[in-house]
Amino acid sequence: MLNVENCIQPSENIDSKDQDECDYLLDCEITSEEIFKVIKKAKNGKAPGLDEIPVEVLKNQTALSFLVRLFNVCYNTGKVPVLWAKGVIVPVPKCSSSDPRDPLSYRGITLAPATYKLYCGVLDCRLREKFDASDSIHDEQNGFRKDRNTIDHLLSITSIIESRKLRKQSTYAAFIDFKKGIRYYK
């Protein structure tokens, strides 16, 4: 297992915030319940990252106690183990009929440490709860939201096109893929 003190630079003293005085979703300590909820969903039998720790090793009470401590140090200091920033990219064929000599026949899968994926899962749950509770995301936003999909939008645009066709009106639409629209610079 990782040794918390050797992996990151912990703060001098992390004071536990009073649960009643904080915004639970963002300001309070990460709980074992939050981690357990994410760990329960983690699939067994997946390839581990560079730390070589499979998720199965983390599915016990001892590991859960360690993860609570590790995740709270990370959360309160804003620092994570250096190893979490590294992954192994494994090429996976898109389909068996593709030319194996063509690099475009593959997609890259990044193997990341299980502890990192669990930590991200906890943060993801918190942020989704916070945004859903605060109504800060428009109701029309369906992509990347739980129990929603883009089929509703496809039905809407199809209905609009059909309605305008009946009235002999033209319809123009722009579909933008922001896949490479935001660049990350160090």
pLDDT for residue 160: 93
> For 159-170, what is the mean pLDDT?
95
Band (113; pLDDT cuts 50, 70, 90): very high
pLDDT for residue 75: 96
Q: Global pTM?
A: 0.68
Which amino acid, 60?
Answer: N
Rounded to the nearest integer, the mean pLDDT of the chain is 82
Which position has the higher pLDDT, 181 or 167?
Answer: 167
pLDDT of residue 50 exceeding 90: yes
pLDDT of residue 151 exceeding 80: yes
How far lies 11's CA from each of 14, 76, 78, 147, 165, in Å? 6, 8, 10, 39, 64
Burial string for 74-88 (b: 16+ CB within 10 Å, else e) reads bbbeeebbebbeebe
pLDDT of residue 90 exceeding 80: yes
> For 96-116, what is the mean pLDDT?
90
